[in-house]
Amino acid sequence: MVIAAPASGSGKTTVATGLMAALRQRGLRVSPHKVGPDYIDPGYHALASGLPGRNLDPWLVGEERVAPLFLHGARGCDLAVVEGVMGLFDGRGESDFASTAHVARLLDAPIVLVVDAARQSRSVAAVVHGFATFDPRVRVGGVILNRVGSDRHEELCRAALGEVPVLGVIRRDDAVATPSRHLGLIPAAERESEALAAVGRLGELVARSCDLEALVRLAATASPLPDGPWSPAAELHGGPDTARTVVAVAGGAAFTFGYIEHVELLRAAGAEVAVFDPLRDERLPEGTSAIVIGGGFPEVYADRLAANEPLRKQVAAFDGPIAAECAGLLYLCQELDGLPMCGRVPGAARMTDRLTLGYREAVSGTSLLTRAGERYRGHEFHRTVVEPPGALFSEGGGHGDALVTASYLHLHWAGTPELAGRLLTPPRSRWR
C-alpha cells in the first residue's frame, strides 16, 4: 500500500514508519519503500522493518524500472509499505511525473491518505473527496486522520467522511516528533539509540491508533504486477570479473546518503564492498581498489573530518578510482568552512543560507564515470557552494579526471548501471 497525503508535513513519515514497525512486531515481513530521491526517511524505514529502505523514483531510474525495483526489494515479504513524497499529485514541474500518484499507478497499489485534521473538522471530507476523485487512475482506499484533538473532533470528522473508510485516528502527540536540521530530518544513523527509541514509539502509536487488520486487507487488494524483479547481475550484462576488487564505501554519521542498489550492483560485478567511517577510521580498508563517497552532512562534522589527518592524506594520495557525490565532493575539496579536507579536487567549500534543491537533467564532460556529451538525470540537495564550482556537469558542476567523478549531482545507478562497471574498470589508457 502507498501512504500519501495532501501536502508535506501531514504525517506520512510518522504513519509509514510506525506502520512498518507495528506490522513487523506482529510477525510480518515488511518491505519498506520511499517515493522520490530522499535518503533520510529510508533510514528510519530500515530501523522499523529490519530491511534496507529502498527508493522508487521514475525520474532517476525510468518508469520501466519502478515495478521491477519494487519487486526486487519486496521479494520474500508479506507486505510492502511505500511512503509517498510531498502531496499526492506533486511531481516534477507542471506534471505529476515522479509523484506519489505516478508511482501508485505504476504499482497499481491502493493509497492510504494521511490527512492533518488540525484546525478543521467537516472540511476534512472535502479534502478527501477532492483527492479521491481528482485522478480516476489512482485508488484512495481509506484515510488516516492525524493530529485529532478530541473525541468530539473525531466524531465530526468521521460523520463528514461518511462511507470513506477511516483506517486510523492519531491524536496530537509531541512525544513522537523527530529532530530535524537544515535539510530535513536528522538521519537515523546519526542518532543510533535515540532513533531506535523514536521508531519504537511510532510503532506503538500506530498500533494503538490504526486498524492494522483493515490496512493489511487493503494492501491485499493490490493487483499482481506483470514485471519480473530487477536483477543487478542482469543489468551488468556479464561485466568484467572483479572478484578481487575491494570497493571502500564511506559510511558513519557524516556520510549516510546512498542507495542500496549501488552496493548490490558492485557485488553483482564481483566486488567486495567494505564500509569505512571517515570520522573514525585512520586508514582505508585493506586492499582498497576504488572508493565511493556518497552524500550526507560533512558540514556538521567538518572539525572531526579535518582532525582525521591520516585518512585525509591517504585519500589524497590514493591512485585509484573515486566516485563522490555532494558530501563526497566536499570531503574531496581542499577545505570545508575553512577546515582542511582531502585536497583531491580543486576548490574550497562553504555553507550558505541558500537551499539548492530539485531534479536535474545534466550533460556531462569526461571523467572516471562519465563520457563527454552523455545525459544524466539526477538530483541536487544542499546548502553549500564550491568555488570554483567546476563544470563536469551542466547542472551540479563538479570536477573529474581519469580517476575521479565528483559533483553535487546525486545519481541512482539502477538507472545507469554502466557506472558500476566504469568504476571497477577505469579506462586509464584513454588518458595517457
The set of catalytic residues is 326
Q: Which three cell numbers stand for residue 315?
A: 585519500
DSSP E strands: which ranges in 195-296?
A: 246-250, 272-276, 288-293
Q: What are phi and psi of 53, to 5 degrees?
A: -75, 135
Q: At what angle do helices 212-219 and 12-25 cross, to 10 degrees?
A: 100
Q: How far apart are CA 375 and CA 377, in angstroms?
A: 7
Could you tell me which of 157, 374, 412 has the C-alpha nearest to residue 295? 412
| Radius of gyration of the chain measured on its C-alpha atoms | 22
The residue to which cell 522508487 is assigned: 56
Could you tell me which of 7, 8, 13 has the C-alpha nearest to residue 206? 13
The residue to which cell 502531496 is assigned: 87
Please spell the DSSP secondary structure of 205-221, one letter per residue.
HHHHHB-HHHHHHHHTT
The residue to which cell 508511482 is assigned: 103
Q: Is the dihedral of CA 329, 334, 335, 339 positive or negative?
A: positive
Residues in CB range of 194: below 8 A, 6 or more apart: none
Q: Which three cell numbers stand for residue 14?
A: 510518522
Q: How far is CA 423 from CA 4, 29, 340, 361, 393, in A?
A: 37, 34, 26, 21, 18
Task: Identify the three-state secondary structure at position 53.
Answer: coil
Q: At what angle do helices 123-133 and 151-161 cross, to 10 degrees?
A: 40
Residue 144, strand partner residues = 114, 168
Strand ordering across the sheet containing 404-407: 272-276, 246-250, 288-293, 322-325, 404-407, 399-401
